[in-house]
Amino acid sequence: MNIIKEYRSKHKNIFINKPLKGFIMDTLLFNSTKYLFELLENVLHTNIHLHGLENVDKKRTLLFLPNHFTRFETMLLPYLISKNLDIKARSLASSALFTGVFGEYLNKVGTLSTKDEHRDEIIISDLICGKNS
């Protein structure tokens, strides 16, 4: 706990509710995306199972680290985490994806670009404060 207090005292500026791009998720858009994935899952008759969910303590701050990186888990993992654990999850994605309408969409659902100048502050703030939105 002393490490957290020390970090907060040194980095007070990141805990102020300032409107950083990608800092706050658009709940309606996030939930709409979740609904579309559920619809797609039903239409395609997919059967995705996550194992080990009984080991997840939702009362603690969580950090999910996939061991393979493709473009698809940028969208799929937040959906699966939300569906199975009823929590919102933020993704980290290649900066190449953040162009045009799709880039704006990613920002609004809380996805962070690998080149976002506030990336580290947002992730650390989420972890320390237990935020996910």
Helix (H, G, I), strand (E, B) or coil at 14: helix
Distances (CA, A) of 130 to 17, 22, 40, 59: 14, 17, 30, 9
20 falls within a domain: yes
pLDDT of residue 42: 92
- Mean pLDDT in runs of 10 for the chain (133 residues)? 54 48 75 91 88 86 73 83 87 90 90 89 82 56
61 falls within a domain: no
64 falls within a domain: no
114 falls within a domain: yes
91 falls within a domain: yes
52 falls within a domain: no
pLDDT of residue 103: 92
Split into its structural domains, the chain has a count of 1
Question: Which tokens sit at 92?
Answer: 């980290």
**Rg over CA atoms, the chain:** 16
48 falls within a domain: no
Closest CA to 69 of 17, 124, 114: 114
- CA 33 from centroid of its chain's CA atoms: 13
Residue 51's region, left for phi above 0, alpha for psi from -120 to 50, else beta, is beta
pLDDT of residue 77: 86
pLDDT of residue 45: 92
